Amino acid sequence: MANYDDLLNNAPAEEQETPQLSKEEYAEMKKAEREEIFALSDHTAMEVSADGDKFQSLLNLQARLDRYSAVNALLVLAQNPNASRLGDFNYWKQKNCSIRPGQTAISILEPHPYTKDDGSPGTGYNIKKVFDIAQVDTRRYRPPQPPRHSDRQLLSALVSKAPVTVMGVDDLPGELGAMYNPETDTISVRKGMEFPDTFRGTAQELAFADLTTGPDTQADPHFSAYCASYLLCKKYGVDTKDFSFDDAPGVFDGMDALDVKGELSQIRDVADDISGRMARQLEQQQKAAKNQGAR
């Protein structure tokens, strides 16, 4: 008599529980999975730090997935470098989408707070399984379209409400397009430049100012500021053809994986701070335009 019992579970693989494991065995399995993911992030960090092209690929992915941590960007790069929009099974289900058959989930780390034995707060990490939009049947889903902004709107949002003074000047030393002066807490920007040069230089000096005056001050933040400017340009569609990361291996030379991930986190965080301020200014611009149009 034929047996069809194996066909009676159609739950997605990611939702099925591991059968017949004791509590201790399950905990040990999850610990091994976390250690494997941590090792993958370390390995990928060292890879990108030793290769300028791979480093730029990481920045490209981080710009697309700007809400994700630097460590999770490393993990996504190692597993699905072309990813552009991620969600777990339930996320895509809520969007009326289904995971295509045969897709392999991307493992990332999800932090969760807990209380240590001494009563102090701590942060642990669980593995979260996500899928890229390219792995999903999206026939019943219309992704939100990002708003379009003019060059003037982007530059205005970049400098408005900035924590330092930004001013146009007729001349700067050498071929500098922008320069931060910590003594006056002022960024001077050369007048008459094309928009990409103006945006790129101003963004870099804003990041530089942040990295030299914040709680995590760097001894030499020029490279990190340069990378943060690149992230902002990629996010807002500003030309990036003049960027080069050939010197990345020299910057990271001698660092271990933890140090590299720390640098990547600072780059991501300072770009996110500036981008968040820009987003608020752009939203205010849109509201003001709508209110004026309604009159």
What's the farthest any 2 CA atoms get from each other in the chain?
Answer: 89
Tokens encoding 139: 């026939």
Instruction: Give the pLDDT band (50/70/90) at residue 287.
Output: confident
Could you report the per-residue pLDDT of 96-112, keeping only the tens digit for each?
999 999 999 999 999 98
Output the pLDDT for position 237: 96
Q: What is the mean pLDDT of residues 43-62?
A: 98
- CA dist 94 and 81 (Å) reads 25
Q: Is the pLDDT of residue 293 over 70?
A: no
Instruction: Give the pLDDT band (50/70/90) at residue 65.
Output: very high
Q: How far apart are the first and last CA of the chain?
A: 78
Burial 22-33 (b: 16+ CB within 10 A, else e): eeeeeeeeeeee
Q: What are the φ/ψ torsions at residue 110 (nearest 5 degrees)? A: -115, 120
Q: What is the mean pLDDT of residues 232-243?
A: 96
Nearest to 251 by CA among 56, 58, 50, 43: 50
Q: Is the pLDDT of residue 256 over 80?
A: yes
Helix axes 195-213, 257-293, angle to 10 degrees: 120
Output the pLDDT for position 263: 96
Which stretches of the chain are DSSP H helices? 23-49, 52-64, 70-79, 89-94, 151-159, 195-213, 222-235, 248-252, 257-293
Nearest to 233 by CA among 280, 197, 193, 189: 197
Q: Is the pLDDT of residue 219 over 70?
A: no
Output the pLDDT for position 14: 53
| Averaged confidence pLDDT in the chain | 91
Instruction: Give the pLDDT band (50/70/90) at residue 10.
Output: low
Could you report the per-residue pLDDT of 191-218, keeping only the tens digit for each?
999 999 999 999 999 999 999 986 655 6
- With 0-12 CB in 10 A as exposed, 13-18 as middle and 19+ as buried, what is 178? buried
- With 0-12 CB in 10 A as exposed, 13-18 as middle and 19+ as buried, what is 139? exposed
Tokens encoding 55: 């480093």
Output the pLDDT for position 146: 83
Per the model's pLDDT, the better-predicted residue between 13 and 116 turns out to be: 116
